[in-house]
């Protein structure tokens, strides 16, 4: 069953058609990858789904209900969480407070901090964390929403391999426990290894979708990435 459905969603910035009649569905309990070259409209799509931007036209259904036009906080409260490409943790709050602002569920916060291996650092200010730790914090913070679906914008980009594996592990585990993920990712190996389904975007349009193996060899996807 689809937890998220986009129907003919479009968004225009001045002269640029950032997202063009985009339609796709994300199946419940999957890790779905969203790929595409730079400027393909991936981040814009995330902004549209999470309510940061409003689509010009089209409908977005989350658990069967229309959410386009809702405010970001309303969408979050319905159980649709997101992270940003650059972690947007609250730097001058402690780790513990970073989780508590979302909801005051102490057992859950502790479980998540332990899961991420950040429990010993709970009393530190978030800006005192390393870059990779900040990404982890960002990930577990969004889990405080008890989300059904989480949009992750390059959760494992730009950090050392150990930390990256740790983040991917946490994602796998959370997915196994029932959370659906839609992930923007550039690393094809990550996509191949972790995703159940892949959607490829170019110029704001869906150019291919299917199981990772099929999308990787799709001619149109290859053209989008390598030109020609």
Partner 1 sequence: MAATTEGPRNGDERGGGHGRAPSTSVPTPTVAASEVAVPRRVARPWARALGALGLGLVLLIALALPRFATDYHLAFLFMVLFWTAAAQSWNLFSGFTGYVNFGFVGFLGLGAYAMAVLVERAGFHWLLALLGAGGVTALFAGLIGLAVLRVRGAYFAIAMLGLAEGLRVFMALDWVEPLTGGGVGLSLTTGLTLKQQYYAMLAVVVLIAGVTYKIATSRFGLRLLTIREDELAASVMGIPTTAYKWVAFVVSAFFSGLTGGLYAAFTTFLAPGTVFVTAYYTLTPIVMAAFGGLGTVTGPILGALSLATLAELIWARFLFFHLLIFGVVLVFIVLFLPQGVIPWLQERRWLPRVRGL
Partner 2 sequence: MMDELQVFVEFALRGLLIGALYSLMALGLSLIFGVMRVINVAHGEFLMIGGYVAYFAWAWTQLSPLATLLISVPALFALGVALERFLVERVVGKPELASLMLTFGISITLWNLAHALFSPDPRSVPYLYEPLELLGIYISKASLMIFAASLGLAALLVLFLKGTRWGKAIRAVAQNPEVAQACGIDTRRVRMLAFGLGAGLAGAAGTFVPIQFSLFPGVGHEFILKAFAVVVLGGLGSLGGAFTSGLLLGVVESLITFYANAHVAYLTFYATIVGVLLLRPAGLFGTGLVEED
**Minimum Å distance from CB 37 to partner 2?**
15
Residue 14 interaction partner, one of partner 2, partner 1, none, beta carbon < 5-8 Å per kind: partner 2
x/- letters, 58..97, toward partner 1 (CB under 8 A):
-------------xxxxxxx---xx-x---xxxxxxx-xx
- Interface with partner 1, residue 166, by CB under 8 A: yes
- In this chain, which of 8, 23, 39, 160 binds partner 1, going by CB under 8 A? 160
Is the alpha carbon torsion for 156, 157, 162, 163 positive or negative?
negative
Angle between helix axes 161-176 and 131-143 (nearest 10 degrees) is: 10
- Interface with partner 1, residue 52, by CB under 8 A: yes
For residue 55, which of 40, 66, 39 has the smallest C-alpha distance? 66
Residue numbers at the binding site for partner 2 (CB under 8 A): 13-14, 43, 47, 52-53, 84-85
CA distances from 140 to 33, 155, 195, 208, 223 (A): 19, 11, 20, 31, 36
Stretch that binds partner 1, among 14-22, 53-61, 141-149, 206-214 (CB under 8 A): 141-149
- Interface with partner 1, residue 128, by CB under 8 A: yes
d(CA 80, CA 72): 9
Instruction: Return the DSSP state at 133.
Output: H
- In this chain, which of 116, 208, 215, 224 binds partner 1, going by CB under 8 A? 116
| Token pair recorded at residue 27 | 């199946």
């Amino acid at each position: 069953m689809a937890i998220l459905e986009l129907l003919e969603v479009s968004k225009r910035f001045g002269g640029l058609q950032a997202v063009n009649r985009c339609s796709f569905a994300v199946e419940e309990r999957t890790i779905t990858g969203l790929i595409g070259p730079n400027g393909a409209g991936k981040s814009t799509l995330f902004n549209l789904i999470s309510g940061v931007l409003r689509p010009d036209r089209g409908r977005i259904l989350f658990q069967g209900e229309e959410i386009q036009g809702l405010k970001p906080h309303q969408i979050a409260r319905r159980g649709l969480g997101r992270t940003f490409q650059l972690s947007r943790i609250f730097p001058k709050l402690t780790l513990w407070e970073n989780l508590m602002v979302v909801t005051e569920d102490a057992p859950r916060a502790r479980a998540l901090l332990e899961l991420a291996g950040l429990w010993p650092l709970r009393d530190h200010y978030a800006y005192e964390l390393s870059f990779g730790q900040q990404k982890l914090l960002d990930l577990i913070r969004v889990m405080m929403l008890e989300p059904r679906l989480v949009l992750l914008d390059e959760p494992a980009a730009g950090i050392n391999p150990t930390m990256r594996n740790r983040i991917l592990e946490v994602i796998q585990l959370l997915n196994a426990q029932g959370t659906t993920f839609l992930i923007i990712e550039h690393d094809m190996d990550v996509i191949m290894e972790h995703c159940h389904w892949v959607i490829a975007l170019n110029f704001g349009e869906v150019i291919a979708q299917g199981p990772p193996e099929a999308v990787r060899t799709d001619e149109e996807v290859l053209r989008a990435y390598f030109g020609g």
